[in-house]
């Protein structure tokens, strides 16, 4: 598809679409966090909260009790996930009995996951479609490979800003390249350096 043949208002959409298609070449395995913190299904919200606090993380994958001792190459059976959003929902209910309830009854399930051969585009589309920000990477044999988060994806996009810039400058009308340059300058100087 050649974006030059389109009207100028459609060129940006065309270019963004082409850039999104280029994300198919980046496997999620290349940006996966491999050291994933897990807890067993019999743990309480208090224990999960402590784990998240001590490890400075926003989620914990929940595994079956009987798979913790069999950790040969992360051969966990992931059955759920507890996220910061889940903690807010549970604590916000003001039901103190939930604090001591096994997470098996409170976790988000079933786990939405993808396999490591999936592309970054697949991960973005899955997160968008399902309304989630964390996506475990689990092979078809059940092996936990890692996890990818919206933050990981954002970091990749920021790292590839030069690629985006050259892509737009090489394929667009001059005024769109200039518009992108002004946006990039605003982004890097104003937004990233403010403490919001």
Q: What is the pLDDT of residues 48-71, one digit of tens each?
A: 999 999 999 999 999 987 755 555
For the beta carbon of residue 135, count every other beta carbon within 10 angstroms: 27
Q: Which sequence spans correspond to the domains of the chain?
A: 3-26+157-188, 31-149
Non-local (6+) Cβ contacts of 38 within 8 A are 60, 61, 62, 63, 68, 76, 78, 144
User: Which secondary structure element, helix H or strand E, spans residue 180, and what is its range?
Assistant: helix 174-186
What is the pLDDT at residue 5?
A: 56
Give the predicted TM-score (pTM) of the model: 0.68
Say how far apart CA 115 and CA 140 lie, in whole Å. 7
What is the pLDDT at residue 172?
A: 45
Say how far apart CA 50 and CA 47 lie, in whole Å. 5
What is the pLDDT at residue 152?
A: 85
- What is the per-residue pLDDT across 160-173, written as a single tens digit (0 to 9) for each? 665 555 555 554 44
Average pLDDT, the chain: 76
Determine the CATH number of domain 31-149: 3.10.580.10
**84: its two tokens:** 């910061």
């Amino acid at each position: 598809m050649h974006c030059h043949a389109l009207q100028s208002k459609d060129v940006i959409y065309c270019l963004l679409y082409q850039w999104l298609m280029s994300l198919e070449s980046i496997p999620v395995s290349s940006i996966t966090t491999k050291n994933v913190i897990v807890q067993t299904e019999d743990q309480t919200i208090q224990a999960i909260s402590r784990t998240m606090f001590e490890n400075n993380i926003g989620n914990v994958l929940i595994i079956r009790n009987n798979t913790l001792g069999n950790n040969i190459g992360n051969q966990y059976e992931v059955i759920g996930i507890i996220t910061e959003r889940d903690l807010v929902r549970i604590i916000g209910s003001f039901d103190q009995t939930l604090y001591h309830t096994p997470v098996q009854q409170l976790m988000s399930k079933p786990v939405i996951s993808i396999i490591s051969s999936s592309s970054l585009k697949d991960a973005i589309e899955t997160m968008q479609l399902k309304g989630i920000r964390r996506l475990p990477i689990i092979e078809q044999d059940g092996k936990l490979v890692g996890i990818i988060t919206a933050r990981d994806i954002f970091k990749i996009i920021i790292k590839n800003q030069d690629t985006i810039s050259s892509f737009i400058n090489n394929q667009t009308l001059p005024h769109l390249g200039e518009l992108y340059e002004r946006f990039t300058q605003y982004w890097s100087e104003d937004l990233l350096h403010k403490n919001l």
